[in-house]
Amino acid sequence: MSVDEGSLREIDEPPGKANSNEKDSLDKELDRIRSRRTDTDKKFPKTFDDVVLIFGLIAGIIFFGSVTLLSSGVFAEDSIFLDETLSKTPLDTGGECIDGEGAISFDIYVSNHDEFNVKSKNAVSNNASVLVVKLVHLNYSNTDDGHYESGIGDVELLFELDESIADGNYLLIVALYQSDNASELSVTNSTTFSQVSDQLRISGSEKTIDVEVTTHSSGGVFSSDMRKEVEVFDPDPRVCLTMAELGYWGWALMALEWAGGRETAMLTGGSAQVPAWWMAIISLGMSIFFLCVQYPLMHRMYHRDIDDLLTKKQLRRLIERTLRKSERDQRVLIKFEDLKMQERAISVDIIIPYQTTSKTIGGATDIRAGFTKDLLEEFAIFGEMRPLQIKSLSLDGINGNLNNEFILSRDLSIIGSERSVLSEDYSGFFTGLGANGKLDEEVTQLLNKWFKKHNLIDYGTAIIVDEDSVLIRVIYTPIMRFSYFLYRKSYIDMQEDLTQYMREAINQSLGSRELIISARNEKATLSDRAVAGRVEQAQKTYESLTDSIGISEKDDLIGEAMVAKQGGITGALLQNPFMGDILSSVEYVAHSNRSRIDKYGFWALIVFVWIPFMASGVLVGAMLGLVARMRFRRVLLACLVGGSAASITWAYTARGIIEFMERYHAQTFIPFLIILAFIFTFLHLRRNKRRRREELFRESMNFFANASNS
């Protein structure tokens, strides 16, 4: 049964077995930490990490602005000055590029194993053109009839090898002819070409490349189907990229590196003959921006001085002090002697047993949300950014839902207590009932106006008026589309608004009664009611990708973990749903690899960021340095050195990998290699995410279950 409101009191007993002196000592230590962390000095930049943040923002503006300017074509769109100049230096290991501007050139490649694709570039745009392609066998003097395509300006020709083409080595000879007029010529074979040849002139020089034709089985060892396969060997240097093309490739490389990792971006750029120096610049620019912007923000969120680190006793005392405030606000009685806490590297788990009182108005969900909100607010002040999971246990079980039956029983208990006093004169009793009924009606009318004022739907209203208090509980939902995402007011805002509204309206009628108000958004999640910064929810039908993480079949996980909310730019950038999901995975990888850094320190961090472990970029390295409590400048330097080494290493080896595969006729595997790099990175990140959720919720579930049964 519920406890009488007189039971709400300050409990002077120390937490657990700690004596009074120990409690006083812990309180003083917590007060000192609170005082340091609530320093009102808002000077900016105040510390070195603020300077790094400013540098990162400036570097990002310059980097992204430059790529945007290049890709837009506003600045020297067709100029090849940059690529041409740097290709003559040791920065470009692919050798000097050629100027394709104004000169006829050809793009030649093979698709579907046996289909040639030949396209001219830089032809006169308003003149008739004829593209001629001939295949000459090196061991025979005869030449095929050739392939012809006509058009205006640049022309593209596609043709497939037929069965008459024998296996062997060939020369592919490509030439473009143009006339001096804009009338398109109809040329499809050597005969029609001869008829108009007097109107044509060859534009630029012919291009000749080596071609090898082979025949292979198309269906494996047991298949009799055969197909032609063609390999093209083009010894000519690459054509210099224009400023606009460099800009386009800048965005493409950034997208590839973000989605599939540095390896995917470099292999793709290498296969497309993007210069190594440009790939290195793009990768370095991304690393510097994200490191110098996100690391200072992560440092501000997670870092605490040694004097500010909470011991297990201090953390428990902080939780108990916070819950004493919650006890009064929620009008419940917490059994602190039965309170249990589990502290882990990745979470803090708490079991809170409580009893309701005659003034408890909120349901079990509201009470749990109130506990969570108060704890998260204190965690934010003390810099405790581990996810919080709580289980609140109602020891009397009557506050699960405030339904009509419960309201009626409480009303009857109030009436019964009043009528239990025997008296000859009942006039005072009925006068009280009349006054209470009048106030009840007034509150109801005011609530209707309040719902209309805020454009809300009443999902359930409870009003209890007696001689001591006025208890009001409202459950509402906004009248708007997509309110789950667009409605910004928390239940706290609405609760305070309703309290102020009622006090102003019924101040005289209220008299000496206590006004108790509870408000809840029916469509809001627990995280909204608790005002959390980041929320992680267990997956109901969790299934591991591999047995190596300890689960080989479907398993149900239950729970919701919340991280303290950070205000300002830090919270806005790092605690939105997208970045919060990334940040939680980064934390997990950092915790998993902490032993290496603890053992080898600064140099291990450089190697970790440099060597292409899956998901081991500069951000993971920065988080790892935070977890290992390394100094800010050492972590920044290690990540800059490791990240720069990784970008340069991959940029200048990617083309070598591609050329090695081409040398041994394995270039058909290059697309598969790029796809595999992307898939492996995606699966690794997904596995880390699932492993973290497993570790986060599984042990907490066991803790809650075992503690509840004990």
- Which pLDDT tens digit goes with each residue over 634-644? 889 999 999 88
For residue 178, the domain's CATH number is 2.60.40
For residue 611, tell me if it sits in a domain.
yes
Strands 105-111, 332-334: pairing kind:
unpaired
Q: Of 215, 233, 251, which residue is a domain's last? A: 233
Query: Alpha-carbon distance 178 to 181, whole Å?
Result: 9
Residue 238: its pLDDT value, please?
79
For range 243-254, the mean pLDDT: 90
Q: What is the pLDDT of residue 44?
A: 66
Phi first, then psi: give them for residue 650, nearest 5 degrees: -70, -40
Mean pLDDT of 582-602: 71
Torsion of CA 194, 199, 203, 207, to 10 degrees: 0
Which residues neighbour 275 within 8 Å (Cβ) at sequence distance 6 or greater? 83, 86, 87, 92, 94, 97, 241
Helix orientation angle between 632-663 and 618-627, rounded to the nearest 10 degrees: 150
Pairing of strands 128-137, 168-178: antiparallel
Residue 427 or 481, more confident: 481
Sorting pLDDT into bands at 50, 70 and 90, what band is 259? confident
pLDDT band at 17 (very low <50, low <70, confident <90, very high): very low
- Residues near 661 by Cβ (< 8 Å), separated by ≥ 6? 667, 669, 670, 673
> Which of 281-285, 385-389, 530-534, 570-574 is predicted least confidently?
570-574
Q: Give the mean model confidence (pLDDT) for residues 344-361.
A: 86
What does the pLDDT look like over 629-684, one tens digit per residue?
788 888 899 999 998 888 888 888 876 766 666 565 555 565 666 677 667 666 76
pLDDT (average), residues 88-109: 78
Beta-bridge mates of residue 272: none
* Residue 609 and residue 616 in contact, taking contact as beta carbons nearer than 8 Å: yes
Domain-terminating residue out of 365, 394, 423? 394
Count of residues in the chain: 710
Residue 539 confidence (pLDDT): 59
The pair of three-digit structure tokens given for residue 174, joined into one six-digit string: 């490509």
Task: Please check the confidence at residue 78 and state whether its pLDDT lies above 90.
Answer: no
Query: How far does Cα 685 stand from its chain's mean position?
Result: 11
- What whole-number distance in Å separates Cα of residue 373 and Cα of residue 370? 5
Are residues 408 and 428 located together in one domain of the fold? Answer: yes
The residue type found at 57 is: L
Q: Quick one: pLDDT band at residue 162, thresholds 50, 70, 90? A: confident
Do residues 150 and 132 touch, judged by C-beta distance below 8 A? no
Separation of alpha carbons 684 and 264, rounded Å: 14
Distances (CA, A) of 574 to 140, 433, 522, 570, 580: 69, 55, 27, 6, 6
Give the whole-number percent of the chain exceeding pLDDT 70: 73
Query: Which parts of 230-363 fold into alpha helices (H)?
Result: 243-271, 276-302, 312-330
Angle between helices 276-302 and 48-72 (to 10 degrees): 140
- Do 490 and 413 share a structural domain? yes
Structure confidence at residue 411 (pLDDT) = 37
CA 333 to chain centre: 40
- Distance between CA 71 and CA 282 in Å, rounded? 13
Q: In what order do the strands lie in the sheet with 115-121?
A: 105-111, 115-121, 156-160
Judgement on whether residues 704 and 598 belong to the same structural domain of the protein: yes
- Say if 303 falls within a structural domain: no
Query: What mean pLDDT is predicted for residues 102-122?
Result: 76
Residue 551 vs residue 202, higher pLDDT: 202
Q: How many helices (DSSP H) and strands (DSSP E) are in the chain?
A: 20, 18
The 3-state DSSP class for residue 401 equals coil
382 vs 305: which has the higher pLDDT: 382
Kindly state whether residues 459 and 384 are assigned to the same domain: no
Co-location of 358 and 466 in the same domain: no
CA gap 150, 186 in Å, rounded: 6
Q: Are residues 575 and 689 in the same domain?
A: yes
**388 and 426 part of one domain:** no
613 — alpha (psi -120 to 50), left (phi > 0) or beta?
beta
Token readout for 488 is: 């910004």
First-to-last C-alpha distance (Å) of the chain? 21
Radius of gyration of the chain (CA): 37
Dihedral (CA of 693, 695, 701, 707) sign: negative
Please tell me the distance from the alpha carbon of residue 28 to that of residue 503, in angstroms, as a whole number: 37
Task: Supply the pLDDT for residue 641.
Answer: 92
Residue 228 has a pLDDT of 75
Domain contains 206 = yes
480: exposed, middle or buried (Cβ count in 10 Å: 0-12, 13-18, 19+): exposed
Same domain, residue pair 489 and 522: yes
394, 425, 454 - which closes a domain: 394
Selected residue with higher pLDDT from 379 and 181? 379
Q: Does residue 239 sit within a domain? A: no
371 and 411 in one domain?
Answer: no
pLDDT of residue 5: 44
Taking residues 403-420, what's their average pLDDT? 33
Query: Which residues are registered as beta bridge partners of 355?
Result: 333
pLDDT band at 334 (very low <50, low <70, confident <90, very high): very high
| pTM exceeds 0.75, yes or no | no
Cα(362)–Cα(620) distance, integer angstroms: 42
Residues 387 and 408 placed together within one structural domain of the fold? no
Q: Which of 414-423, 581-590, 598-607 has the lowest mean pLDDT?
A: 414-423
Mean pLDDT of 686-690: 74
Count of alpha carbons within 13 Å of 114, Cβ hemisphere only?
Answer: 16
Q: What is the mean pLDDT of residues 486-490?
A: 69
Confidence of residue 556 (pLDDT cuts 50, 70, 90): low
In a domain, 698, yes or no: yes
368 and 411 within one domain? no
Q: 180, exposed or middle or buried, with CB in 10 Å at 0-12, 13-18, 19+?
A: exposed
User: Which CA distances in Å does 26 have to 19, 22, 310?
Assistant: 11, 6, 10
Whether the CB-CB separation of 1 and 398 falls below 8 Å is answered with: yes
**Is the confidence at residue 335, as pLDDT, over 70?**
yes
Comparison of pLDDT for 710 and 137, the residue scoring more: 137
Q: In a 3-state reduction of DSSP, which class is residue 413?
A: helix
Instruction: Report pLDDT for 613.
Output: 55
Mean pLDDT of 570-597: 67
Please list, in sequence order, all residues whose beta carbon lies within 8 angstroms of the beta carbon of residue 217, skipping any fewer than 6 positions away: 223, 224, 225, 226, 227
pLDDT at position 573, please? Answer: 60
At 531 the pLDDT is: 64
Number of structural domains the chain divides into: 4
Structure tokens at 32: 């000192």
Mean pLDDT of 101-106: 74
449-481 pLDDT per residue, tens: 898 888 888 877 888 887 778 888 888 888 877
Computed over every residue of the chain, the mean pLDDT equals 76
H or E stretch at 216: strand 207-217
Question: Is residue 64 scored above 90 in pLDDT?
Answer: yes
Characterize 552-577 residue by residue with b for buried, 16 or more Cβ atoms within 10 angstroms of its Cβ, and e for exposed. Answer: eeeeebebbbbbbbbeeebbeebbee
* Predicted local distance difference test score (pLDDT) of residue 56: 92
Instruction: Name which of 181, 169, 276 is nearest 650 in CA terms.
Output: 276
Mean pLDDT to the nearest integer, 114-120: 80
pLDDT at 702 over 50: yes
Question: For residue 554, what pLDDT is reported?
Answer: 46
Average pLDDT rounded to a whole number, residues 91-100: 78
Is the peptide bond preceding residue 45 cis, with omega within 30 degrees of 0? yes
**625 contacts 634 by C-beta, under 8 angstroms:** yes
Count Cα neighbours of 430 within 13 Å in the Cβ-side half-sphere.
5
Q: What is the pLDDT of residue 415?
A: 30
514 is a domain residue: yes
In a domain, 242, yes or no: no
Structure tokens at 40: 């009102």
Confidence band for 141, pLDDT divided at 50, 70 and 90: low
Residues spanned by the domain of 518? 404-530
* Res. 62 pLDDT band, cuts 50 70 90: very high
Confirm whether 539 is domain-assigned.
Answer: no
pLDDT for res 553: 41
* 402 has pLDDT over 60: no
pLDDT of residue 208: 85
Residues 156, 224 share a domain = yes
